[in-house]
Amino acid sequence: MNLPPFQFKQPKSLDEVTSLLQEYGDKAAILAGGTILIVALRYRLIEPTLVICLKELKILNHIYKNDKAINIGSMVPLEVLERSEIIKNEYPSLISVIQKIAVPPIRNQATIGGNICLDNRCIFYNQSEFWRSVQKPCFKLGGELCHAVEKGKRCQAVYSGDLAPFLIALGANVKIISKEGEKLIKLSEFFTGRGEKPNILKPNELLTEIQIPPAEPGVGLSYEKLRIREGMDFPMAGVAVKVKEKQDGTIEKIKVVLGSVGTAPIEVSKATTILAEQKLTEELLQKISKETMEVARPVGNLIINSEYRRKMIGVLTKRALIQAFKMAKGNWS
């Protein structure tokens, strides 16, 4: 499949990028690593007038630490992030998350900003133009129906990024710029929960930086995912966990975030109610597992059956919690 016709520009400064976004608006597409955009162009899922390549913007390719945060430019390739000494020293568990994304050649191109800004996916949407031509257009294509949910009232396309649930568990923020200036928001507030428009970025805005709080002592982190092929596929379900124990072994802080079972990452708010001030037991594992299964609402729009994905959320929650507690105790095995 050939690419559609479009203009191509490679700006040398952020000011030039924001000017182009201001001028072209939703007729422009951002090229970061290109691992997803090129497929979307070939499938005619998008047909922009202008493609803006960010490869020359070295200002977006940085990793540094200050007193407030670990600052990561949105154009940092996943493979570079995986090898970063700062990340190894502060958040080695983030490296294990990255290693679960695709394969090394793709991680060499894909960027952290691109992974966070992934468009939502659906087996009825992510198809060729020819395949879609024999179907009625769905909500994501401007229609008035959802092929995955009979009589559905909204788009149920799934957010399938691996990094966002884990970074939300860490309490990450993201920086967004436009001609009007810049703003810093919580990553958890970056997602709309709408399948057809997964994040809050306006046509004239660009995500430029991810800021992660410095690592805390005694914190355990883990991410578990379900996928078909171990080395390649998008997650069919995912669970990120952050836990901090007190000296007596009870839980001081807990955060559980689900991925790929909804239109946005889902924070399990009852995790704190269930587990805070408690010691982890098999009974509590069962309870929190049941709660995450209740919160998860997968539908039949990915290759794996939705009920199986829901049940696997419970399994992944147990695995992630056990691993996070091992890490909190200093046991990495």
Q: What tens-digit pLDDT sequence spans the chain (333 residues)?
A: 799 999 999 999 999 999 999 999 999 999 999 999 999 999 999 999 999 999 999 999 999 999 999 999 999 999 999 999 999 999 999 999 999 999 999 999 999 999 999 999 999 999 999 999 999 999 999 999 999 999 999 999 999 999 999 999 999 999 999 999 999 999 999 999 999 999 999 999 999 999 999 999 889 999 999 999 876 689 999 999 999 999 888 999 999 999 999 999 999 999 999 999 999 999 999 999 999 999 999 999 999 999 999 999 999 999 999 999 999 987 654
Q: CA nearest 213: which of 258, 163, 252, 167?
A: 167
Q: Nearest-5° angle of CA 238, CA 239, CA 241? A: 155
List Cβ neighbours of 185 (8 Å cut-off, separation of 6 or more). Answer: 173, 174, 176, 200
- Residue 200 identity (one-letter amino acid): I
What single DSSP character describes residue 236? S
| pLDDT value, residue 331 | 60
Ordered by where they begin, the domains of the chain are 59-116+158-212 (3.30.465.10), 219-328 (3.30.390.50)
pLDDT at 142 (0 to 100): 94
Q: What is the pLDDT of residue 43?
A: 96
Whole-number pLDDT of residue 229: 83
In a 3-state reduction of DSSP, which class is residue 153?
coil
Residue burial 285-297, b: 16+ Cβ < 10 Å; e: rest: beebbebbbebbe
pLDDT value at residue 333: 45
The amino acid occupying position 228 is I
CA 161 to chain centre: 3
Read off the tokens for 232. 């390649």
- What pLDDT is attached to residue 330? 77
CB contact set of 295 (below 8 Å; sequence gap of 6+): 258, 266, 268, 270
Sheet strands (E) in 235-292: 237-245, 251-259, 266-267
Unique residue bearing structure tokens 């493609």: 51
251 Cβ partners below 8 Å, 6+ apart?
A: 243, 244, 245, 275, 276, 277, 278, 279, 280
